[in-house]
Amino acid sequence: MENPWSKIPLDDYESHMSLTSIQQLQALNKLMEGQIMTWPVSSAMILGVAGGNGLEHIRGSGLKKVYGVDINAAYLSETARRYQDLNDIVELLCIDLCSSPGDLPEAELLIANLVVEYIGCVCFGQVVQQVNPQYVSCVIQVNNGAGWVSDSPYLHAFDGLEQVYHSIDANMLRESMTGIGYRFIGNWEYPLPNEKKLVRLDFMGGIT
């Protein structure tokens, strides 16, 4: 089965996410800034990098190497075009996280924003173990009874995502990460205009 994310046009995705009624693109940008600036690391991996939202925050950070990973090659091509000034730092990788996690390099910080919902905790755990980061920072979406894809003129662009969607909550993610040796550090909530919210959860490795 072809992953539906490989067929969603980037313009539809970004237009949907940036609508005034949704504002997830804007929220994720601010969250990414915090994730990049929080930890004293020189390398990071961003899963589901899409069009590179938030990569501008690499400038001025201590990061020397950043891997941007996505399943959609067209997204990565556009990211490369948008951030040509970062091509000495950013390396883009087209990888299916669930079928080819062994292709991922190691990095000190792993960022996964609105990714775990589309690969599940088991696959995400395998990815974490392969990348072997010291810190993991995730953002998940809390729907508060609303549909997991918000209503918009671009809604039909996301047809087929139900094939790969997993309902994930903070407790599930914490339990899964603890099971592979990561300690929960803390969480931060970011309310959205449609009664949903984004929750950032951070973890640190080294549990024995």
Percentage of the residues of the chain whose pLDDT score is greater than 70: 95
**What is the value of pTM for the model shown?**
0.95
Question: pLDDT per residue over 76-125, tens digit each?
Answer: 999 999 999 999 999 999 999 999 988 999 999 999 999 999 999 999 99
Check: CB of residue 202 under 8 Å from CB of residue 136.
Answer: yes
Residue 85 in tokens? 């000034």
CATH 3.40.50.2300 applies to domain 4-204: no
Is residue 30 within a helix (H) or strand (E), and if so which, with residue range?
Answer: helix 24-38
